[in-house]
Structure 1
Amino acid sequence: MIRTFWRTTVVAMLYLSLWACRQETGKYQTKTGESNGYSYEYVTNDPLKVRIYTLKNGLKVYLSQYTDEPRIQTQIAVKAGGKNDPVTNTGLAHYLEHIMFKGTADFGTLDWQKESVYLDSIEHMFAHYGTLKDSLERVKYYKLIDQVSNEASRFAIANEYDKMVGELGALGTNAYTSEDRTVYINDIPANQLDNWLQLEGNRFQKIVPRLFHTELEAVYEEKNRGLDNDYWKTYEALFGAMFTKHPYGTQTVIGTIDHLKNPSITEIKKYFNTYYRPNNVAICLSGDLDYDKTIALVDKYFGNWKPNDQLPTWNRVEEDPITTPVVKEVYGPEAEWVNIGFRFKGRNSDDYTLLTLTNMILSNSQAGLIDINLDQQQKVIDPASHVEPMGDYSIHRFSGRPRDGQSLEDVKKLLLEQIELVKHGEFDDWLIEASINDLKKSKIEGSENNWSRSNDLVLAFTNNMAWNEYISETDAMRKITKEDIVKFANEHYKDNYVVVYKRTGKDTNVKKVDKPSITKVALNKEDKSPFHQAILKKKAEKLKPVFVDYDKDIRKLKMNKGVDVLYTANTENDLFSLYYMSDVGSNNDPKINVAVEYLQYLGTEDMSAEDFKKEFYRLGCNFGVSASEDRTYIYLAGLAENTDKALQLLEKLLANPKADDEALKKMVAGMFKKREDSKKDKGTIMFEGLIAYGLYGPKSSFTNVLSNKELREVKAEDLITIIKDFTKTEHRVLYYGPKKGEEIVASLNQYHALPDQLKPVPPPVEFKMQDVAKPAVYWTDYDMVQEEIMFLSKGAGFDKTRVPISCMFNEYFGGNMSSPVFQELREAQGLAYAAFAHYGSADKPTGNDLFYAYIGTQADKQPEAMKAMNGLLTNFPKTEGGFEVTRNAILNQIESERITKTDILFDYEEARRRGLDYDIRKDIYDQVQKFTLADVEKFAQDNIKGKNFNIVLIGNKNKINFKELKQYGEIKQLSLDEIFGYEKVQKIDIEKRNQ
């Protein structure tokens, strides 16, 4: 599970009416209500207006109404995860998560009576397979399992669940398994709630391990991807040392290699029958829902689900205290870093609020001790701390990467010194209140998002927290004093930590899951079960699409000197976002990326850079600068009542930055180290460097950066000029907030200093995609178990009339789990864990479309995987059923989608970039209703079939099958210097560019 957090800091939140902190007793009181014959609990002053129902069978239902768009974010949470796996069969919870997408006795099957006979046999065969020790005997017997599995597949309808939710217009269909929970996720149109509940009600009441051995291949691949991931290995090392008794450390969620190679369908069924019961599950919904109608529908489809009266009680495993530092080392190809972990009580404990606030004092992305003392002063690369809360224990984790010449032990020492400052009370008193209000603002931002709202419901349920306690945690922090934090730190941060040094080097313990060969199974892609057909016949009330009207939904205002101000009102709360946006980027001047980074280390004559960070934090605002290849923006966000003060502060910095040669010297040294680190990052090498090379060749926006020589010679004065010129060059202002349009324009006129005449945007260097006249295979060596492969081709020039059919093609061909690309490579043949394809429309009139197809596969399956993908690109797979699924999915998505808030402004910006003055989704919606499968096939023939492809590949040179690669083009190994271009001096004529 990947967690991503984006937080904008804030202080003076006392004035926010929705979340105003009232200190009177009983602000959040739990009460009961009744409506439509159903009783529920609710909490007074709850900003999410959550109702919590408990059905007769024990099923919890959390409902939160939010009508921003006619969609509902759904999460079904099972209070069981990796820690509940039996010691002899680790990985069961995760296995089961995969199997839950395979259907039931009612869907996913052509004939359940016949299919079930085969599935029973397969279950017994896997039980016997697990007893075999001789490797040759195991291979021989697995061939029998493969044979019977192929017979069973004749009755299976692959991915029928995904097809059904796709037809409903679901987005983000997924699931995750953590140590404490398993959660199933969909974002559905509000009018499809009945159909979705009927589908889920059926899915959760019976497990069918259909197409089991091909899904085993996917789990094997997932395990191998983890074994290829230095971050995951570090994570496991930390947890293994932190928890020597608890399953958090003694076993992993995905399971051991031995257990993965000997799966037990019987044990998976037992796990399902034990934990997947209504008295251990919560349905958590947030969105445009009616409370009374929704709970009645949940009861209709889930009310007959039988509870488990002998549901096991989880007994927390007590760990021995850590009394001396525990040191672990992990080796791998990635750049080095250090992780430090302190162990605390679980999420639902007295520790948590003090732990959270202590973490904010240390690291809040802006003004914490780590932020100021290590990041701002450039003593460590990417220093950070965060709390990882779990049910039984939490971990306070610290991390950082070394600068050049710095050891991992040095980084550890610097991080621990920040904790010592807290222990001695050496932090500003106001930082406590600021941090609490920062957390409060994060809650407000989360309340604007149905994913965040529903996730809060999941966390409260799976951590056994009463809802009034969950939503009052931040307010409870206001009782915490500085003395409390100092005492807490002295009691809990001693030599009781685990440190993991991630070192760059050969992992001598590297392992992989060897996978048995399997035969391609039948998919029966055109078939539909009676259950599926019944769902299709239930016509939901039609939603009408709403398209953005750029003339009505955006007020186009102007400042005194003609600068455009694009305005959209925030009527929901008292937060604002303001952007200065320019069409100047690194393609105009590669130095702009350096200037953008330099700005964060600058102050003025009377304020240091640290002072600016702290003052913004005190105002409840923050700012940042971002530059891409053809655009730069400066953003300011936070509490609306402090807009003018924050604006003045920002303008002061932009107008009068003071050069700091020492900061520049450190920054450049840090940039060199980051450049070297990026050459060790598999994701950057593949998804940025190799793709850019495959499309553009050696010269692209990716390599259009200052060479190492140029970077060494950069002058502070040049960067200061770029910063000052930003507001002197043509730009525009985007604003979303509660201020009236005339008010924000007045503020801008007063504080946003402009010259009498703005400079024009200098012409950029244009990088053109290369025609693939002679296909090539570009590869680079990387120490990994798997291979990652991408087929790439240049498309035609931008044409808005091509956007609707390309959208149709993407949804049909390679954009989801029911698409031919995913079904063929993963479901039918087990050749890849990840596989997808996409035709991308150019983002500007002068650009070109592009096509890419991706495979993440085991090295020994490279030839078969590439052959399968190439076959799909050559021979367009036609299924009328799949086409109708695609049509319904797109229409339902657009009908229920609403572009709101700042998205309106950025949607307009993207349209303007393409030369459009209207919402292109209208064309997509109108045309999709008329398209036929023949139209999609013709698009594939015109734009994909017969095209030459460059192929880029990253993998271990000792495992790549070069003989097979030859058939795809001339093979060329790329060095990291060729991919990144750092060493090459870029001789771009700046004067010519500015002519």
Structure 2
Amino acid sequence: PQIDPVTIDPSRQSAFAAEILAMDFEPIEPSFVEADKDYRRITFADGVELFYAPNPLNDLFSLSISIDVGTEENDKLSLAAALMDVAGTDSLSNEALQKEWYRLGSSFNFGASENASGFSLSGLDEQFEASLELMMSAIKQPSTDSETLEQLKSILIKSRQDMKSSPPAIARALNLYNRYGEESPMLESLTTEEIRATQLDELLSLPGALLDYEHTLAYTGSLPLEQLVEVLRRHHPLAGDLKQPPAYRFRTVREISANEVYVVDQQTAQAQVRIEFADGEYNADDRVPASVYTSYFGSGMSSVVFQELREARALAYSASARYGQGSRLKDQNLMLGAIGTQTDKTADALDAFIDLIDNMPESEERFEETVTALLNRYRTSKLSFREVISAVRGWEKLGFKGDPRAESYARLQTLQFSDLLAFQREHVKNRPKLISIVGDLSIIDKTELERFGSVKEVAIDDLFVD
């Protein structure tokens, strides 16, 4: 049946809401991270930086070793990380190793992503040295047998086959294929034959070899910095020159001149629709307007997208959008929109979503509420001591020498509604869009989709590596 849109007046308030909002309160001043107070940074060795943040609450610690070497450099690192979960050391079986971690009250993990790998350790500071010694043994002398590796290979191959029948996995693979084409990460992962041909020795040698590269140590805990350095030097001695990490790989979104619609025919209860496009490289000047735009337009239940698509028009089970800035200098920005909709409403939902993106509803009152909410987030969302180091390292990748939020907080207070409208016009409005749809084509009319751009039906096998 035809559903008439509900007219929503966001300016209306109940008497109770008005009473609450009129209450007096003491304003909270924001708190920002300060070097040498909230954290310290020293050179541990040539090519090795050490970040230190004190834990003022208890004697729990966390330690990480981060290396800018990932699967782009060696695509078997992810397989080595999986093997480490079931491996032991040269003197402990995996079962005995797990018992030792339990006895120490510590946990250890190894993971690898496209451009980085990392080891993490956490536990009690009174067991820090023993835990560190055990971690180094696990990294440098991992041990298991070929039977364990073969079992792991079977599990990984089966899980990859299962992804081809999983709607969320298919939707993610389609999004990446539409975004990057043949350079989709899903198509660049290890093939089944490469997994089967992998030998035990080459995997066991990979974790320890990572420590031959320049890396970063990060510790949060109650040990004094001087004591920490002494313990680290005993169990993580470094001799000789360390290797330079490889260049960071920046993935580039496909360039298009008009909308393109990629569709996977899949019998699902609802259609999953994704709209996205790239928008140049990261620019620090856009930090504040980008965050305001995302909050105003697509993030949360008070945003334009949620209110219009779900609440007013009943076109969505879920709906959101965001303008995602690059995570480091030279990284691309990406505008993203996602909607889960009833399959027979796919064309209507897509039409409404594209119209909202290109012709954003303008409300000064919503803008003021958005700015107020963001200012309050700065005031009340103090970084915990456990979050400080990762935040600082993230800011450094974006070129900041210190906490950039102080400047952002000040700029937010002077931002005008016209600045938001200008950002939308310059960075979002009328851009060619990559549209990805996973849904039942016996219900979705392909000819209806053609009014949004050229339509290409994609086979599931084209999304995943064999």
> Match for 2:162 among 671, 677, 691?
677
- Residues in 2 aligned to 1:754 and 1:660: alpha-carbon distance in whole angstroms: 29
Once the two structures are superposed, the pairs formed by residues 224-243 of structure 1 within 5 Å of their partners are none
Q: Does 1:769 pair with 2:273?
A: no
Superposition pairs for residues 626-705 of structure 1, below 5 Å?
Answer: 626-658=111-143, 660-686=145-171, 688-705=172-189
Matched position secondary structure for 2:187: coil
| Partner in structure 1 of residue 461 of structure 2 | 977
Paired residues for 1:795-806 under 5 Å: 795-806=279-290
- Return the match for 1:904 from 388, 397, 405: 388
- What is the Cα deviation at residue 548 of structure 1? 1.2
Determine the structure 2 residue equivalent to 1:593: 78
Query: Do the aligned residues in 1 keep the contact of 2:310 with 2:319 (CA within 8 Å)?
Result: yes
The alpha carbon displacement at 1:733 in A equals 0.8
User: Any conservation in 2 of the 1:570–1:736 contact (CA below 8 Å)?
Assistant: yes
Equivalence for 1:361: none
- Equivalent residue, structure 2, for 1:139: none
- Say if 2:13 is the partner of 1:545: no
1:854 equivalent among 320, 338, 342 = 338
Matches within 5 A, 1:686-835: 686=171, 688-835=172-319
Residue 899 of structure 1 and its aligned partner are, at CA, apart by 0.5
The change in CA–CA distance for 1:643 and 1:855 in structure 2 (over 3 A counts) is same
SS at structure 1 position matched to 2:299? coil
2:51 aligned residue: 566
Aligned-pair CA distance for 1:518: 2.0
Deviation at 1:764, TM superposition (A): 4.5
Whole-Å Cα distance in 2 between the matches of residues 529 and 968 of structure 1? 41
| 1:922 has 2:412 as partner | no
Q: How many angstroms does 1:639 deviate by?
A: 1.6
Name the % identity: 30
Give the TM-score taking structure 1 as reference length.
Answer: 0.46
Work out whether residues 272 and 437 of structure 2, in 8 Å CA contact, stay in contact via their aligned partners in 1.
yes
* Structure-2 change in CA distance of 1:703 and 1:908 (3 Å): farther
Instruction: Output the CA distance in 1 between the equivalents of 2:229 and 2:287.
Output: 36
When residues 588 and 810 of structure 1 are mapped into structure 2, their CA distance, relative to the original with a 3 A threshold, is same
Shift of 1:561: 5.3
1:504-540 CA-to-partner distances (Å, cap 9, x unmatched) read xxxxxxxxxxxx5421121123444555444444342
Distance of 1:977 and 1:917 partners within structure 2: 46
1:956 paired with 2:452, answer no
- What is the RMSD of the two structures over their aligned residues, measured on CA atoms? 1.8
CA distance in 2, matches of 1:822, 1:929: 25
* SS of alignment partner, residue 703 of structure 1: helix
The total of aligned residue pairs comes to: 466
Kindly provide the CA deviation profile for residues 578-629 of structure 1, in whole angstroms up to 9, marking residues without a partner as x: 1111111122221111111122222233211221111111111110112122
Contact 1:698 1:978 survives alignment (8 Å): no
**Residue 450 of structure 2 is aligned to residue 966 of structure 1:** yes
Task: Supply the distance in 2 between the matched residues of 1:968 and 1:828 (Cα, whole angstroms).
Answer: 23
Question: Of residues 93, 112, 133 in structure 2, which corresponds to 1:608?
Answer: 93
> Are 2:450 and 1:933 equivalent residues in the alignment?
no
The one-letter amino acid paired with 1:891 is: L
Q: Cα offset for 1:666? A: 1.5
Letter in 2 for 1:822: F
Q: TM-score, normalised by structure 2?
A: 0.95
- CA distance, structure 2, for counterparts of residue 899 and residue 780 of structure 1: 42
Q: How does 1:150-169 map to 2 (within 5 A)?
A: none
Counterpart Cα distance in 1 of 2:111 and 2:193: 24
Cα distance in structure 1, aligned partners of 2:271 and 2:348 = 13
- 1:588·1:765 contact (CA, 8 Å) conserved in 2? no
What corresponds to 1:132 in structure 2? none
1:710 deviates by 1.8
Q: Matches of 2:220 and 2:125 in 1, distance apart?
A: 10
Asked if structure 1 preserves the Cα contact closer than 8 Å seen for 2:68 and 2:246, the reply is: no
Aligned-partner Cα distance in 1 for 2:318–2:244: 45
Residue of structure 2 equivalent to 1:235? none
Are the aligned partners of 2:89 and 2:141 in contact in 1 as well (CA < 8 Å)? yes
Residues 924, 765 of structure 1: alpha-carbon distance in 2 compared, 3 angstrom cutoff: closer
Query: Displacement, 1:717?
Result: 2.3
684 and 924 in structure 1: CA distance in 2 versus 1, 3 angstrom threshold: farther
Measured against aligned partners, the alpha-carbon deviations of 1:267-325 in whole angstroms (never above 9, x if no partner) come to xxxxxxxxxxxxxxxxxxxxxxxxxxxxxxxxxxxxxxxxxxxxxxxxxxxxxxxxxxx
Give me the whole-angstrom Cα distance separating, in 2, the residues matched to 1:764 and 1:660: 34
* Contact 2:214/2:244 (<8 A) preserved: yes
CA distance in 2 between counterparts of 1:561 and 1:766 reads 27
- 1:901 alignment partner AA: F
Instruction: For residue 669 of structure 1, give the secondary structure of its aligned residue in structure 2.
Output: helix
Q: CA deviation at 1:865?
A: 1.1
Structure showing greater relative contact order (alpha-carbon pairs closer than 8 Å, 6 or more residues apart): 2
Q: In 2, distance between residues paired with 1:944 and 1:624?
A: 40
Tell me what 1:582 maps to.
Answer: 67
Looking at structure 2, the residues matched to 754 and 725 of structure 1 have their Cα atoms a distance apart, in angstroms, of 13
Residue 519 of structure 1 is matched in structure 2 by 4
Contact 1:591 1:706 survives alignment (8 Å): yes
Question: Aligned to 2:220, what secondary structure does the other structure show?
Answer: strand
- Alignment check: 8 A CA contact 1:659 1:717 kept: no
Task: Report the residue type matching 1:921 in the other structure.
Answer: R
8 Å contact 2:59–2:125 — kept in the other structure? yes
Q: Look up the SS of the partner of 1:735 in the other structure.
A: strand
Question: 1:663, CA displacement in angstroms?
Answer: 1.7
